[in-house]
């Protein structure tokens, strides 16, 4: 051993090697992280939702004063309220936070709960994430803290926050749904995509199918696995992205319930595959046959797609693993 | 001192999804590594402990006051969860009847080293890790934290500085002193031939 004199900040390579070798660990698998994230996210949303109604005494006084003022305004609005209800674009299917205040008309508002319709002219700001089943087919998922207007039956306007649209291929091709943002308009062509927006920039991520982005300077058609970044008046940039993984977990956590009773295993697996953005493949022909022939019974309500798949496959002779981007289903353990 | 961590928790309590994403990305893999360095648990049990710790954390965000780094606060929760896991394992009988395979509980099996950790090289690595951790625990807490963050979690000096509530230069100095303290203690206590100890 030779001990050379060292400066104060000059690290001893033996020390660095000893520490690096001993302290390095095997990282958690992507699958484990996804599973963990889904569970913790759900707990977090529940905990935050439970905390929200606890308001300070001062807030209660302010709320009382505001309520008194609003009561006076309400009388005036009663006279000016619209005589007919506008068209429903969909219905509330799941709210992480109980009750959602929606504004409409000039100063009117109503409180939405699960099952209530969402109408043209509504303006909402979400406190927790929510899932809306669209009348035209498909779902709209909205992240907490998003502000969204519904100016028409085929148009949404995202002021800020994040939404995810899952429109089944082939639905409403004549009158595509449009999402207006500060930097342009997104038109779907049968697809799953996410839009995140504020007053300075817009990010569009295409997960399946294709979208058309009509920016203020340019129009771009983007396919699955593409991310567009646009700012008002600036050139739109694009890059490739994964259609699976951590960035999409918030959408999986808001996935609609899949009713498995009486439905085929293959149909269920295809649903999981779309929700996770991962291709589905079978390791052997027998596994594929089992998936085609098996009819499911029971329920996977309130389970994330990954948990639902784990539980359903545990009741069959099939198992799965996530290899790279793909869900591999195989016979036996 | 930990304004950024406090702001992150405030944003999480205001239901901001992006804040949760930041929190999870920064905490979960690092907590798993934190546990892995302090135990020989299999991956499923380790995941359970990380999950329990994070769930307790998100349920008790209001109790985080910003007096320590958010990750330090999480590690305290994690230590309790880890201690619970060891306590539960310790309550089970030391000797299990081979005539009653059903008496070997699932948890007991999970707390044993998995078969792929049995070869001698794995055993050597685990022993060495235990020795290194013992030496780290004998150092001042901020030295141990800095060394673990740098060499275990691969964090940058800037990130460690935020966690220690120091400037970048002060953190470099802490790291240098920590390495030197570690070297001296390691030389005294280990039989590492690289450091002049006698191999046994």
Structural domain count of chain A:
2
* B50, B62, B132: residue with CB nearest A36: B50
**How far off is chain A from B13, nearest CA to CA, in Å?**
6
**B129: closest chain A residue by CA:** A22
Asked if A207 and A324 sit in the same domain, the reply is: no
The Cα A171–Cα A157 span in angstroms is: 20
Asked if A320 and A191 sit in the same domain, the reply is: no
pLDDT of amino acid B116: 47
A16 touches chain B (CB under 8 A): yes
Of residues A241 and B193, which shows the higher confidence score? A241
Residue A9 inside a domain? The answer is no
B51 touches chain A (CB under 8 A): yes
Q: Name residues whose C-beta falls within 8 Å of residue A137's C-beta, 6 or more positions apart in sequence.
A: A167, A168, A171, A172
* Model confidence, pTM: 0.47
Asked if A92 and A241 sit in the same domain, the reply is: yes
Asked if B66 and B137 sit in the same domain, the reply is: no
Structural domain count of chain B:
2
Residue A304 inside a domain? The answer is yes
Domain that holds residue B4: 1-93+105-112
Asked if A235 and A279 sit in the same domain, the reply is: no
Alpha-carbon distances of A25 from A18, B116, B125, B134, B153, rounded to whole Å: 14, 15, 11, 17, 9
pLDDT classification of B129: cutoffs 50, 70, 90: confident
Q: What percent of chain B has pLDDT over 90?
A: 43
Residues present in chain B in total:
200
Asked if B86 and B135 sit in the same domain, the reply is: no
The Cα B118–Cα A30 span in angstroms is: 25
**A127: closest chain B residue by CA:** B15
Is the separation of the CB atoms in A188 and A209 below 8 Å?
Answer: yes
DSSP codes, A31-95: HHHHHHHHHHHHHHHHHHHHHTT---HHHHHHHHHHHHHHHHHHHHHHHHS-SSPPPEEEEEEEE
**How far off is chain B from A241, nearest CA to CA, in Å?**
18
**Nearest 10 degrees: Cα torsion A13, A18, A22, A26:** 30
Residues present in chain A in total:
333
Is the separation of the CB atoms in A107 and A76 below 8 Å?
Answer: no
**How far off is chain B from A45, nearest CA to CA, in Å?**
7
A54 touches chain B (CB under 8 A): no
Each residue of B4-16: pLDDT tens digit? 899 999 999 988 8
Residue B9, domain CATH: 1.10.1740.10
pLDDT tens for chain A, 333 residues: list them: 444 445 555 678 888 999 998 898 888 888 788 888 888 888 898 888 887 654 554 565 566 666 667 666 665 555 455 545 678 888 888 887 666 778 776 667 778 888 888 888 888 888 888 899 988 888 999 988 888 999 888 889 998 889 999 887 766 556 778 899 888 888 877 678 889 887 778 899 999 888 888 887 778 889 889 998 888 777 788 889 988 888 888 888 888 888 898 999 999 999 999 888 888 999 999 999 999 999 999 888 888 898 899 999 998 999 999 888 899 999 977
For A6, phi and psi rounded to 5 degrees?
-125, 155
Interchain CB distance below 8 Å, B32 and A27:
yes
């Amino acid at each position: 051993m030779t001990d050379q004199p060292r400066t104060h900040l000059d690290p001893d390579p033996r020390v660095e090697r000893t520490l690096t070798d001993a302290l390095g660990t095997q990282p958690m698998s992507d699958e484990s992280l996804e599973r963990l994230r889904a569970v913790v996210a759900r707990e977090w949303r529940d905990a935050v939702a439970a905390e929200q109604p606890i308001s300070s005494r001062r807030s209660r006084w302010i709320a009382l004063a505001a309520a008194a003022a609003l009561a006076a305004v309400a009388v005036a609005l009663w006279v000016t309220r619209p005589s007919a209800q506008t068209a429903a674009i969909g219905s509330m299917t799941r709210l992480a936070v109980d009750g959602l205040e929606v504004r409409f008309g000039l100063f009117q508002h109503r409180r939405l709960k699960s099952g209530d319709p969402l109408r043209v002219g509504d303006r909402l700001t979400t406190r927790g994430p929510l899932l809306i089943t669209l009348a035209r087919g498909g779902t709209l998922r909205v992240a907490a803290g998003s502000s969204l207007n519904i100016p028409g039956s085929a148009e949404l306007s995202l002021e800020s926050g994040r939404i995810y649209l899952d429109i089944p291929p082939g639905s409403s091709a004549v009158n595509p749904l449009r999402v207006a943002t500060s930097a342009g308009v997104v038109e779907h062509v049968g697809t799953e995509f996410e839009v995140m927006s504020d007053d300075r920039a817009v990010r569009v991520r295409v997960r399946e199918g294709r979208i058309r982005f009509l920016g203020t300077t340019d129009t771009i058609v983007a396919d699955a696995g593409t991310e567009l970044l646009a700012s008002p008046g600036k050139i739109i940039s694009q890059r490739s992205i994964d259609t699976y993984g951590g960035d999409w977990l918030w959408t999986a956590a808001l996935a609609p319930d899949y009713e498995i009773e009486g439905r085929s295993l293959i149909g269920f697996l295809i649903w999981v595959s779309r929700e996770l953005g991962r291709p589905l493949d079978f390791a052997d022909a027998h596994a594929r046959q089992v998936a085609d022939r098996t009819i499911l019974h029971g329920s996977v309500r309130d389970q994330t797609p990954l948990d639902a798949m784990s539980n359903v496959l545990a009741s069959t002779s099939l198992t799965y693993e996530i290899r790279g981007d793909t869900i591999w289903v195989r016979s036996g353990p | 001192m930990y304004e950024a961590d406090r702001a992150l928790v405030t944003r999480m309590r205001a239901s901001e999804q992006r804040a949760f994403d930041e929190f999870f990305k920064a905490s979960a893999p690092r907590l798993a590594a934190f546990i892995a360095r302090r135990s020989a648990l299999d991956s499923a049990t380790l995941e359970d402990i990380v999950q329990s710790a994070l769930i307790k954390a998100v349920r008790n965000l209001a109790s985080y006051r910003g007096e320590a780094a958010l990750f330090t606060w999480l590690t305290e929760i994690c230590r309790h969860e880890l201690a619970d896991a060891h306590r539960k394992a310790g309550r089970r009988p030391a000797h299990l009847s081979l005539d009653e395979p059903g008496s070997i509980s699932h948890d007991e099996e999970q707390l044993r080293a998995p078969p792929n950790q049995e070869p001698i090289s794995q055993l050597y690595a685990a022993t060495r890790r235990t020795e290194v951790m013992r030496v780290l625990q004998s150092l001042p807490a901020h030295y141990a934290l800095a060394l673990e963050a740098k060499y275990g979690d691969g964090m940058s000096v800037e990130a460690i500085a935020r966690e220690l509530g120091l400037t970048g230069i002060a953190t470099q100095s802490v790291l240098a002193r920590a390495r030197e303290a570690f070297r001296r203690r390691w030389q005294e206590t280990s039989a590492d031939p690289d450091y002049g100890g006698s191999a046994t």
